[in-house]
A and B are shown apart, each in its own frame.
Chain A
Amino acid sequence: MSVPQPDNPAQPWDTRHHSVQGPAKARNQDWSDVEYTPDGALLLAVADGHGSAAHPLSHLGARYAVDVFKLCAAQFATRARAAGDGAGGGLRRLWADAHDRMPRELVRIWQDWVVDRHTPADGEEHRTGPALLRAHGTTLIGAVLTEGLFVAWQLGDGDLMVVHPDGTVAQPLTPEQAELGDETESMCSRQAWDLVRVHWAPISDPARLPRLVTLSTDGLSNSFAARDGFIRFVRELDQRINTEGLAAVGDALPGWLGRAGSYSGDDTTAVVASLKRPAPAPMETED
Protein backbone atom coordinates (compact mmCIF):
# COMPACT_ATOMS: atom_id res chain seq x y z
CA MET A 1 0.00 0.00 0.00
CA SER A 2 1.19 3.53 -0.62
CA VAL A 3 -0.04 6.98 0.24
CA PRO A 4 -0.62 9.11 -2.90
CA GLN A 5 1.78 11.99 -2.71
CA PRO A 6 1.92 14.73 -5.33
CA ASP A 7 5.36 16.17 -5.75
CA ASN A 8 4.91 18.49 -2.83
CA PRO A 9 8.07 19.97 -1.31
CA ALA A 10 6.29 20.07 2.04
CA GLN A 11 6.03 16.27 1.86
CA PRO A 12 9.58 15.06 1.32
CA TRP A 13 8.85 11.38 1.96
CA ASP A 14 7.53 8.57 -0.21
CA THR A 15 6.04 5.66 1.66
CA ARG A 16 5.00 2.06 1.30
CA HIS A 17 3.54 -0.32 3.84
CA HIS A 18 2.41 -3.88 3.63
CA SER A 19 1.50 -6.80 5.88
CA VAL A 20 1.48 -10.55 5.23
CA GLN A 21 -0.35 -13.06 7.42
CA GLY A 22 1.84 -15.72 9.01
CA PRO A 23 1.59 -19.27 7.75
CA ALA A 24 -0.90 -21.43 9.65
CA LYS A 25 -2.35 -18.35 11.37
CA ALA A 26 -6.11 -17.94 11.47
CA ARG A 27 -5.86 -14.19 10.95
CA ASN A 28 -3.31 -11.41 10.64
CA GLN A 29 -2.80 -9.75 14.02
CA ASP A 30 -0.51 -6.99 12.73
CA TRP A 31 -1.69 -3.56 11.67
CA SER A 32 0.06 -0.59 10.10
CA ASP A 33 -0.69 2.80 8.61
CA VAL A 34 0.95 5.88 7.14
CA GLU A 35 -0.54 9.35 7.03
CA TYR A 36 0.44 12.89 6.17
CA THR A 37 -1.17 15.54 8.34
CA PRO A 38 -2.57 18.66 6.64
CA ASP A 39 0.48 20.62 7.75
CA GLY A 40 2.93 18.11 6.29
CA ALA A 41 3.97 15.93 9.24
CA LEU A 42 4.42 12.29 8.33
CA LEU A 43 3.01 9.73 10.78
CA LEU A 44 4.12 6.09 10.63
CA ALA A 45 2.86 3.28 12.82
CA VAL A 46 2.97 -0.48 13.09
CA ALA A 47 1.53 -2.76 15.78
CA ASP A 48 1.85 -6.47 16.40
CA GLY A 49 -1.03 -8.09 18.25
CA HIS A 50 0.33 -10.91 20.37
CA GLY A 51 -1.97 -13.59 18.98
CA SER A 52 -2.06 -16.95 20.77
CA ALA A 53 -4.84 -18.18 23.01
CA ALA A 54 -3.92 -15.72 25.75
CA HIS A 55 -4.60 -12.70 23.51
CA PRO A 56 -7.61 -13.60 21.36
CA LEU A 57 -8.58 -10.01 20.51
CA SER A 58 -5.09 -8.74 19.78
CA HIS A 59 -5.91 -8.08 16.12
CA LEU A 60 -8.28 -5.37 17.41
CA GLY A 61 -5.72 -4.21 19.96
CA ALA A 62 -3.16 -3.71 17.19
CA ARG A 63 -5.57 -1.73 15.09
CA TYR A 64 -6.55 0.47 18.03
CA ALA A 65 -2.87 1.04 18.83
CA VAL A 66 -2.13 2.30 15.32
CA ASP A 67 -5.20 4.52 15.21
CA VAL A 68 -4.55 5.91 18.70
CA PHE A 69 -0.99 6.62 17.69
CA LYS A 70 -2.09 8.58 14.62
CA LEU A 71 -4.50 10.59 16.76
CA CYS A 72 -1.91 11.43 19.42
CA ALA A 73 0.93 11.90 16.95
CA ALA A 74 -1.03 14.40 14.85
CA GLN A 75 -1.63 16.47 17.98
CA PHE A 76 2.02 16.10 18.93
CA ALA A 77 3.06 17.31 15.47
CA THR A 78 0.86 20.36 15.91
CA ARG A 79 2.50 21.07 19.27
CA ALA A 80 5.90 20.54 17.68
CA ARG A 81 5.15 23.11 15.00
CA ALA A 82 3.99 25.56 17.65
CA ALA A 83 7.10 24.94 19.71
CA GLY A 84 9.27 25.59 16.69
CA ASP A 85 7.49 28.85 16.05
CA GLY A 86 7.66 30.01 19.65
CA ALA A 87 10.20 31.57 21.91
CA GLY A 88 13.08 29.76 23.68
CA GLY A 89 12.31 26.73 25.78
CA GLY A 90 9.80 25.31 23.33
CA LEU A 91 12.01 22.41 22.31
CA ARG A 92 12.75 21.55 25.93
CA ARG A 93 9.03 21.40 26.72
CA LEU A 94 8.46 19.33 23.62
CA TRP A 95 11.14 16.89 24.75
CA ALA A 96 9.28 16.43 28.03
CA ASP A 97 6.06 16.10 26.07
CA ALA A 98 7.55 13.30 23.94
CA HIS A 99 8.97 11.44 26.90
CA ASP A 100 6.14 11.83 29.38
CA ARG A 101 2.86 13.06 27.96
CA MET A 102 2.84 11.04 24.75
CA PRO A 103 3.48 7.62 26.34
CA ARG A 104 0.80 8.24 28.95
CA GLU A 105 -1.72 9.45 26.38
CA LEU A 106 -1.04 6.54 24.06
CA VAL A 107 -1.60 3.96 26.77
CA ARG A 108 -4.53 5.69 28.43
CA ILE A 109 -6.46 6.26 25.20
CA TRP A 110 -5.70 2.72 23.99
CA GLN A 111 -7.06 1.33 27.24
CA ASP A 112 -10.17 3.53 26.97
CA TRP A 113 -10.79 2.38 23.42
CA VAL A 114 -10.38 -1.28 24.38
CA VAL A 115 -12.96 -0.94 27.15
CA ASP A 116 -15.38 1.38 25.34
CA ARG A 117 -15.42 -0.49 22.04
CA HIS A 118 -15.62 -4.00 23.40
CA THR A 119 -18.74 -5.88 22.37
CA PRO A 120 -18.52 -9.51 23.46
CA ALA A 121 -19.33 -11.96 20.71
CA ASP A 122 -21.83 -14.73 21.32
CA GLY A 123 -20.28 -17.33 23.58
CA GLU A 124 -17.17 -15.21 24.19
CA GLU A 125 -15.62 -15.41 27.63
CA HIS A 126 -16.71 -12.48 29.81
CA ARG A 127 -13.70 -10.25 30.42
CA THR A 128 -13.30 -6.96 32.21
CA GLY A 129 -10.41 -4.83 33.45
CA PRO A 130 -6.94 -6.32 33.13
CA ALA A 131 -8.23 -9.50 31.50
CA LEU A 132 -9.87 -7.45 28.76
CA LEU A 133 -6.69 -5.44 28.19
CA ARG A 134 -4.65 -8.64 28.10
CA ALA A 135 -6.96 -10.12 25.48
CA HIS A 136 -6.14 -7.13 23.26
CA GLY A 137 -2.38 -7.15 23.98
CA THR A 138 -0.20 -5.60 21.30
CA THR A 139 3.09 -3.88 20.68
CA LEU A 140 3.40 -0.46 19.03
CA ILE A 141 6.04 1.43 17.09
CA GLY A 142 5.21 4.93 15.85
CA ALA A 143 7.15 7.80 14.36
CA VAL A 144 6.58 11.47 13.56
CA LEU A 145 8.70 13.18 10.91
CA THR A 146 8.00 16.86 10.89
CA GLU A 147 9.92 19.99 10.07
CA GLY A 148 13.10 19.96 12.13
CA LEU A 149 12.20 16.93 14.20
CA PHE A 150 12.12 13.13 14.05
CA VAL A 151 10.59 11.42 17.09
CA ALA A 152 9.69 7.78 17.49
CA TRP A 153 8.12 5.68 20.24
CA GLN A 154 8.28 1.95 20.80
CA LEU A 155 6.57 -0.38 23.24
CA GLY A 156 7.50 -4.03 22.93
CA ASP A 157 9.34 -5.82 20.17
CA GLY A 158 9.74 -4.95 16.51
CA ASP A 159 12.25 -2.68 14.83
CA LEU A 160 12.69 0.99 14.04
CA MET A 161 15.58 1.28 11.59
CA VAL A 162 17.13 4.47 10.25
CA VAL A 163 19.48 4.94 7.30
CA HIS A 164 21.43 8.16 7.72
CA PRO A 165 22.50 10.41 4.82
CA ASP A 166 25.94 8.75 4.77
CA GLY A 167 24.35 5.31 4.40
CA THR A 168 24.99 4.07 7.92
CA VAL A 169 22.20 2.03 9.48
CA ALA A 170 21.04 2.78 13.03
CA GLN A 171 18.56 1.00 15.29
CA PRO A 172 17.94 3.72 17.85
CA LEU A 173 15.22 1.99 19.87
CA THR A 174 16.66 -1.51 19.99
CA PRO A 175 17.29 -2.55 23.60
CA GLU A 176 20.79 -3.74 24.48
CA GLN A 177 19.34 -7.07 25.57
CA ALA A 178 16.48 -8.33 23.46
CA GLU A 179 13.75 -10.35 25.17
CA LEU A 180 14.41 -14.06 24.82
CA GLY A 181 11.87 -16.27 23.12
CA ASP A 182 8.68 -14.57 22.05
CA GLU A 183 8.04 -12.64 25.25
CA THR A 184 7.47 -8.94 24.79
CA GLU A 185 6.43 -5.83 26.62
CA SER A 186 2.96 -4.74 25.69
CA MET A 187 0.32 -2.04 25.67
CA CYS A 188 -1.48 -4.28 28.18
CA SER A 189 1.49 -4.39 30.57
CA ARG A 190 1.21 -2.86 34.00
CA GLN A 191 2.20 0.86 33.83
CA ALA A 192 2.91 0.36 30.15
CA TRP A 193 3.77 4.04 29.67
CA ASP A 194 6.95 3.44 31.68
CA LEU A 195 7.99 0.80 29.15
CA VAL A 196 7.81 3.12 26.13
CA ARG A 197 11.20 3.84 24.58
CA VAL A 198 11.61 7.21 22.85
CA HIS A 199 13.92 8.29 20.03
CA TRP A 200 14.34 12.07 19.94
CA ALA A 201 16.24 13.59 17.03
CA PRO A 202 15.99 17.31 16.25
CA ILE A 203 17.16 17.94 12.69
CA SER A 204 18.24 21.54 12.17
CA ASP A 205 19.71 20.94 8.72
CA PRO A 206 17.45 19.28 6.10
CA ALA A 207 20.57 17.75 4.59
CA ARG A 208 20.79 15.60 7.71
CA LEU A 209 17.35 14.08 7.34
CA PRO A 210 17.44 10.26 7.35
CA ARG A 211 17.37 8.73 3.88
CA LEU A 212 15.19 5.89 4.98
CA VAL A 213 13.08 5.04 8.01
CA THR A 214 11.53 1.60 8.43
CA LEU A 215 9.19 0.24 11.06
CA SER A 216 8.56 -3.48 11.12
CA THR A 217 7.10 -6.19 13.31
CA ASP A 218 9.39 -8.87 14.69
CA GLY A 219 8.14 -11.34 12.10
CA LEU A 220 10.62 -9.69 9.74
CA SER A 221 13.78 -9.48 11.87
CA ASN A 222 13.13 -12.92 13.43
CA SER A 223 13.33 -14.53 10.00
CA PHE A 224 17.02 -13.75 9.64
CA ALA A 225 19.56 -16.24 10.95
CA ALA A 226 21.48 -13.38 12.56
CA ARG A 227 20.78 -9.79 13.50
CA ASP A 228 23.42 -8.67 11.00
CA GLY A 229 21.34 -10.23 8.25
CA PHE A 230 18.42 -7.97 9.14
CA ILE A 231 20.61 -4.86 9.29
CA ARG A 232 21.92 -5.84 5.86
CA PHE A 233 18.31 -6.11 4.69
CA VAL A 234 17.71 -2.47 5.60
CA ARG A 235 20.98 -1.31 4.03
CA GLU A 236 20.27 -3.17 0.79
CA LEU A 237 16.67 -1.93 0.80
CA ASP A 238 18.02 1.61 0.76
CA GLN A 239 20.47 0.75 -2.02
CA ARG A 240 17.73 -0.81 -4.13
CA ILE A 241 15.54 2.24 -3.71
CA ASN A 242 18.48 4.22 -5.13
CA THR A 243 19.06 1.93 -8.07
CA GLU A 244 15.60 0.60 -8.86
CA GLY A 245 13.21 3.08 -7.29
CA LEU A 246 10.70 2.84 -4.47
CA ALA A 247 7.93 1.68 -6.79
CA ALA A 248 9.86 -1.46 -7.73
CA VAL A 249 10.81 -2.10 -4.10
CA GLY A 250 7.20 -1.57 -3.07
CA ASP A 251 6.04 -4.10 -5.65
CA ALA A 252 8.52 -6.69 -4.34
CA LEU A 253 7.82 -6.01 -0.66
CA PRO A 254 4.81 -8.37 -0.24
CA GLY A 255 6.82 -11.28 -1.63
CA TRP A 256 9.74 -10.53 0.68
CA LEU A 257 7.49 -10.29 3.71
CA GLY A 258 5.79 -13.55 2.82
CA ARG A 259 9.15 -15.26 2.50
CA ALA A 260 10.22 -13.85 5.88
CA GLY A 261 7.01 -15.10 7.46
CA SER A 262 7.70 -18.62 6.26
CA TYR A 263 10.83 -18.60 8.44
CA SER A 264 9.61 -16.62 11.45
CA GLY A 265 6.16 -18.22 11.39
CA ASP A 266 4.72 -14.84 12.26
CA ASP A 267 2.64 -12.12 10.65
CA THR A 268 5.13 -9.82 8.99
CA THR A 269 4.60 -6.12 8.44
CA ALA A 270 6.83 -3.29 7.24
CA VAL A 271 6.41 0.44 6.84
CA VAL A 272 8.96 2.18 4.62
CA ALA A 273 9.46 5.95 4.43
CA SER A 274 12.04 6.95 1.86
CA LEU A 275 13.30 10.48 1.41
CA LYS A 276 12.40 11.52 -2.13
CA ARG A 277 15.40 10.95 -4.39
CA PRO A 278 16.21 11.36 -8.05
CA ALA A 279 14.61 8.74 -10.26
CA PRO A 280 16.96 5.83 -10.93
CA ALA A 281 18.84 5.98 -14.20
CA PRO A 282 17.17 3.89 -16.90
CA MET A 283 18.86 0.58 -17.63
CA GLU A 284 21.06 0.72 -20.73
CA THR A 285 20.12 -1.77 -23.39
CA GLU A 286 22.04 -2.89 -26.43
CA ASP A 287 20.40 -2.55 -29.82
Chain B
Amino acid sequence: MSDIPGGPMENRPVHFIWILDVSYSMMGEKIGQLNYAIREAIPEMQSVAHDNPAAQLLLRVLTFSSTANWHIANPTPVESFTWQDVQVDGGTNLGDALYAVARELETPPMPQRALKPVLALVSDGQPLDEWRDGLRAIDATPWGKKAVRVAIGIGADADRGVLQEFLANPELQVLDANSPKQLAAAIRWASTAAVKAASQPVAGGTPGGAKQLAPAYAPPALDDDDDDDVW
Protein backbone atom coordinates (compact mmCIF):
# COMPACT_ATOMS: atom_id res chain seq x y z
CA MET B 1 0.00 0.00 0.00
CA SER B 2 2.17 2.89 -1.19
CA ASP B 3 -0.20 5.34 -2.86
CA ILE B 4 -0.89 8.03 -0.32
CA PRO B 5 -4.52 8.89 0.43
CA GLY B 6 -5.87 12.38 -0.08
CA GLY B 7 -5.51 15.13 -2.63
CA PRO B 8 -2.43 16.33 -4.45
CA MET B 9 0.55 17.58 -2.46
CA GLU B 10 2.49 20.75 -3.19
CA ASN B 11 5.13 22.88 -1.51
CA ARG B 12 4.19 26.37 -0.37
CA PRO B 13 5.19 29.60 -2.11
CA VAL B 14 7.39 32.33 -0.65
CA HIS B 15 6.60 35.57 -2.48
CA PHE B 16 9.68 37.80 -2.53
CA ILE B 17 9.17 41.38 -3.70
CA TRP B 18 12.04 43.73 -4.39
CA ILE B 19 10.94 47.37 -3.95
CA LEU B 20 13.65 49.44 -5.63
CA ASP B 21 14.23 53.19 -5.63
CA VAL B 22 15.10 54.22 -9.21
CA SER B 23 14.84 57.98 -8.70
CA TYR B 24 17.32 60.31 -10.38
CA SER B 25 19.49 60.35 -7.26
CA MET B 26 20.35 56.73 -8.05
CA MET B 27 21.82 57.78 -11.38
CA GLY B 28 25.33 56.68 -12.24
CA GLU B 29 27.25 54.21 -10.15
CA LYS B 30 24.50 53.49 -7.62
CA ILE B 31 22.02 52.10 -10.15
CA GLY B 32 24.79 50.23 -11.92
CA GLN B 33 25.94 48.64 -8.68
CA LEU B 34 22.37 47.83 -7.66
CA ASN B 35 21.78 46.01 -10.95
CA TYR B 36 25.08 44.22 -10.59
CA ALA B 37 24.45 43.23 -6.96
CA ILE B 38 21.01 41.78 -7.60
CA ARG B 39 22.13 39.96 -10.73
CA GLU B 40 25.00 38.44 -8.75
CA ALA B 41 22.69 37.47 -5.88
CA ILE B 42 20.33 35.42 -8.06
CA PRO B 43 22.49 32.25 -8.04
CA GLU B 44 22.61 32.43 -4.24
CA MET B 45 18.84 32.77 -4.09
CA GLN B 46 18.58 29.75 -6.36
CA SER B 47 20.89 27.87 -4.04
CA VAL B 48 18.81 28.76 -0.97
CA ALA B 49 15.69 27.65 -2.82
CA HIS B 50 17.36 24.39 -3.76
CA ASP B 51 18.22 23.80 -0.10
CA ASN B 52 14.60 24.49 0.93
CA PRO B 53 12.62 22.22 -1.38
CA ALA B 54 9.52 22.70 0.75
CA ALA B 55 9.38 26.37 -0.28
CA GLN B 56 8.70 27.59 -3.78
CA LEU B 57 10.50 30.92 -4.10
CA LEU B 58 8.70 33.38 -6.41
CA LEU B 59 10.24 36.76 -7.27
CA ARG B 60 8.77 40.08 -8.33
CA VAL B 61 10.35 43.48 -8.78
CA LEU B 62 8.67 46.85 -8.24
CA THR B 63 10.47 50.09 -9.02
CA PHE B 64 9.46 53.53 -7.84
CA SER B 65 10.37 56.99 -9.01
CA SER B 66 7.68 59.52 -9.94
CA THR B 67 5.35 56.53 -10.15
CA ALA B 68 5.52 52.89 -9.15
CA ASN B 69 5.95 50.33 -11.92
CA TRP B 70 6.12 46.57 -11.87
CA HIS B 71 9.45 45.79 -13.48
CA ILE B 72 8.71 42.08 -13.15
CA ALA B 73 5.02 41.77 -12.38
CA ASN B 74 4.43 38.03 -12.46
CA PRO B 75 5.62 35.94 -9.52
CA THR B 76 8.52 34.18 -11.23
CA PRO B 77 10.09 30.97 -9.92
CA VAL B 78 13.66 31.73 -8.90
CA GLU B 79 14.90 28.85 -11.03
CA SER B 80 13.81 30.65 -14.20
CA PHE B 81 14.41 34.20 -12.97
CA THR B 82 16.81 36.37 -14.96
CA TRP B 83 17.69 39.91 -13.96
CA GLN B 84 16.75 42.73 -16.28
CA ASP B 85 18.49 46.00 -15.43
CA VAL B 86 16.38 48.78 -13.96
CA GLN B 87 16.80 52.39 -15.16
CA VAL B 88 16.58 55.69 -13.29
CA ASP B 89 13.61 57.97 -13.81
CA GLY B 90 11.98 60.78 -11.80
CA GLY B 91 11.35 61.40 -8.11
CA THR B 92 10.98 59.26 -4.99
CA ASN B 93 7.31 58.41 -4.58
CA LEU B 94 7.61 55.56 -2.13
CA GLY B 95 3.95 55.79 -1.13
CA ASP B 96 2.82 54.73 -4.61
CA ALA B 97 5.08 51.73 -4.40
CA LEU B 98 3.81 50.68 -0.98
CA TYR B 99 0.20 50.97 -2.19
CA ALA B 100 1.07 48.76 -5.16
CA VAL B 101 2.60 46.18 -2.85
CA ALA B 102 -0.40 46.34 -0.51
CA ARG B 103 -2.74 45.51 -3.40
CA GLU B 104 -0.68 42.40 -4.12
CA LEU B 105 -0.76 41.31 -0.47
CA GLU B 106 -4.54 41.09 -0.36
CA THR B 107 -6.01 37.60 -0.36
CA PRO B 108 -6.60 37.11 -3.27
CA PRO B 109 -4.37 37.63 -5.21
CA MET B 110 -2.11 36.21 -2.47
CA PRO B 111 -3.09 32.66 -1.62
CA GLN B 112 -4.16 31.72 1.90
CA ARG B 113 -1.73 28.85 1.78
CA ALA B 114 1.77 30.28 1.62
CA LEU B 115 4.83 31.01 3.68
CA LYS B 116 5.41 34.57 4.82
CA PRO B 117 6.20 36.97 1.98
CA VAL B 118 9.44 38.91 1.94
CA LEU B 119 9.47 42.65 1.24
CA ALA B 120 12.92 44.05 0.46
CA LEU B 121 13.07 47.85 0.19
CA VAL B 122 16.14 49.57 -1.25
CA SER B 123 16.35 53.38 -1.30
CA ASP B 124 18.91 56.17 -1.35
CA GLY B 125 16.72 59.16 -0.67
CA GLN B 126 13.73 60.73 1.01
CA PRO B 127 10.17 60.05 -0.12
CA LEU B 128 8.36 62.93 -1.79
CA ASP B 129 4.82 61.67 -1.22
CA GLU B 130 2.55 60.51 1.62
CA TRP B 131 4.46 57.29 2.05
CA ARG B 132 2.98 56.54 5.50
CA ASP B 133 -0.44 56.03 3.90
CA GLY B 134 1.07 53.35 1.68
CA LEU B 135 2.76 51.74 4.65
CA ARG B 136 -0.54 51.69 6.54
CA ALA B 137 -2.14 50.02 3.52
CA ILE B 138 0.46 47.24 3.73
CA ASP B 139 -0.05 46.88 7.47
CA ALA B 140 -3.79 46.59 6.90
CA THR B 141 -3.39 43.43 4.84
CA PRO B 142 -3.13 40.05 6.61
CA TRP B 143 0.01 39.09 4.76
CA GLY B 144 1.53 42.55 5.08
CA LYS B 145 1.47 42.28 8.86
CA LYS B 146 3.23 38.91 8.68
CA ALA B 147 5.78 39.82 6.03
CA VAL B 148 9.50 39.48 6.64
CA ARG B 149 10.85 42.95 5.90
CA VAL B 150 14.34 44.07 5.06
CA ALA B 151 15.51 47.58 4.22
CA ILE B 152 18.73 48.77 2.66
CA GLY B 153 19.73 52.43 2.76
CA ILE B 154 22.17 53.43 0.04
CA GLY B 155 24.52 56.29 0.82
CA ALA B 156 24.42 59.14 3.32
CA ASP B 157 21.24 60.73 1.97
CA ALA B 158 18.99 57.72 2.51
CA ASP B 159 16.30 58.50 5.08
CA ARG B 160 17.00 55.82 7.70
CA GLY B 161 13.96 56.89 9.70
CA VAL B 162 11.63 56.04 6.83
CA LEU B 163 13.32 52.70 6.29
CA GLN B 164 13.14 51.91 10.00
CA GLU B 165 9.40 52.64 10.02
CA PHE B 166 9.02 50.34 7.05
CA LEU B 167 10.64 47.56 9.09
CA ALA B 168 7.99 48.08 11.80
CA ASN B 169 10.14 46.42 14.40
CA PRO B 170 12.68 48.30 16.53
CA GLU B 171 14.72 45.13 16.88
CA LEU B 172 15.37 45.08 13.15
CA GLN B 173 18.05 47.31 11.70
CA VAL B 174 18.33 49.09 8.40
CA LEU B 175 21.29 47.80 6.43
CA ASP B 176 23.63 50.64 5.51
CA ALA B 177 25.22 50.33 2.10
CA ASN B 178 27.71 53.14 1.78
CA SER B 179 29.83 51.61 -0.92
CA PRO B 180 29.51 49.15 -3.79
CA LYS B 181 31.02 46.42 -1.62
CA GLN B 182 28.54 47.01 1.19
CA LEU B 183 25.64 47.16 -1.25
CA ALA B 184 26.62 43.82 -2.72
CA ALA B 185 26.85 42.27 0.77
CA ALA B 186 23.53 43.76 1.83
CA ILE B 187 21.72 42.54 -1.29
CA ARG B 188 23.26 39.11 -0.91
CA TRP B 189 22.15 38.90 2.71
CA ALA B 190 18.64 40.19 2.02
CA SER B 191 18.26 37.73 -0.82
CA THR B 192 19.04 34.69 1.24
CA ALA B 193 18.62 35.18 4.98
CA ALA B 194 15.18 36.72 4.62
CA VAL B 195 14.01 33.78 2.55
CA LYS B 196 15.18 31.40 5.24
CA ALA B 197 13.44 33.48 7.90
CA ALA B 198 10.18 33.41 5.96
CA SER B 199 9.97 29.66 6.32
CA GLN B 200 10.70 29.47 10.04
CA PRO B 201 7.83 28.95 12.45
CA VAL B 202 7.37 31.39 15.31
CA ALA B 203 5.08 31.52 18.28
CA GLY B 204 2.59 34.35 18.34
CA GLY B 205 1.62 36.16 21.55
CA THR B 206 4.80 35.25 23.32
CA PRO B 207 5.73 36.48 26.79
CA GLY B 208 7.06 39.97 26.67
CA GLY B 209 4.17 41.30 24.70
CA ALA B 210 5.56 41.14 21.17
CA LYS B 211 3.22 39.47 18.72
CA GLN B 212 6.20 38.36 16.70
CA LEU B 213 9.49 37.29 18.12
CA ALA B 214 12.73 39.06 17.65
CA PRO B 215 13.78 37.92 14.22
CA ALA B 216 16.28 35.17 13.86
CA TYR B 217 17.61 36.91 10.80
CA ALA B 218 19.64 39.66 12.40
CA PRO B 219 21.39 41.56 9.64
CA PRO B 220 25.12 41.11 9.31
CA ALA B 221 27.67 43.66 10.45
CA LEU B 222 28.98 44.93 7.15
CA ASP B 223 32.69 45.59 7.08
CA ASP B 224 33.87 49.15 7.07
CA ASP B 225 34.76 49.82 3.54
CA ASP B 226 38.30 50.60 2.63
CA ASP B 227 37.39 51.52 -0.91
CA ASP B 228 37.82 55.09 -1.95
CA ASP B 229 34.46 54.82 -3.59
CA VAL B 230 32.07 55.68 -0.77
CA TRP B 231 28.61 57.09 -1.42
Contact = CB atoms under 8 A, between A and B. Distances in A.
Interface of A: 22-24, 50-55, 129-130, 133-134, 137, 156, 178-186, 188-190, 195, 222-230, 232-237, 240, 244, 248-249, 251-252, 255-256, 259-260, 262-266
Contact of B212 (A183, A195, A223, A225): A183
Contacts of A180: 112, 114, 116, 142-143, 146
B53 interface: yes
A131 to B, nearest CB: 8
B206 A50 contact: no
- Interface centre among B12, B53, B146, B214, by most chain A C-beta atoms within 10 angstroms, is B12
B17 to A, nearest CB: 15
Interface residues of B, number: 40
Nearest to B1: A252
Contacts of A244: 1
Given A24-B51, A54-B214, A265-B11, A134 B207 contact: yes
A180 B107 CA distance: 11
B118 to A, nearest CB: 11
Contacts of A129: 207
A233 B6 CA distance: 3
Interface stretch (B57-65, B96-104, B173-181, B194-202): B194-202
Contact of B206 (A188, A224, A228, A234): A188
B10 interface: yes
A195 B205 contact: yes
Contacts of A260: 4, 9
B216 interface: yes
Interface string B193-228: 000001111111111110011101000000000000
Nearest to B148: A181
B54 A134 contact: no
Contacts of B12: 222, 264
Contacts of A182: 115-116, 199-202
B3 to A, nearest CB: 9
Contact of B201 (A133, A184, A256): A184
9 contacts: A130-B208, A184-B203, A186-B204, A189-B207, A227-B113, A249-B1, A256-B5, A260-B4, A263-B10
B47 interface: no
Contacts of B213: 54, 134
B6 A189 contact: no
B131 to A, nearest CB: 25
Determine chain B's interface SS by DSSP, over half rule.
loop
B202 A52 contact: yes
Nearest to A195: B205
B9 A229 contact: yes
B2 interface: yes
- Interface centre among B2, B10, B51, B201, by most chain A C-beta atoms within 10 angstroms, is B201
A162 B182 CA distance: 55
B37 interface: no
A40 B152 CA distance: 61
B114 A181 contact: yes
B115 A23 contact: no
B28 interface: no
B52 interface: yes
Contact of B6 (A181, A185, A230, A266): A230
B203 A240 contact: no
Given A24-B51, A263-B54, A265-B55, A51 B201 contact: yes
A56 to B, nearest CB: 10
Contact of B203 (A185, A228, A230, A236): A185
Nearest to A53: B216
Contacts of A195: 205
Nearest to A139: B203
Contacts of B109: none
A50 B203 contact: yes
Given A23-B53, A230-B6, A236-B6, A189 B199 contact: no
A134 B6 contact: no
A190 B116 CA distance: 23
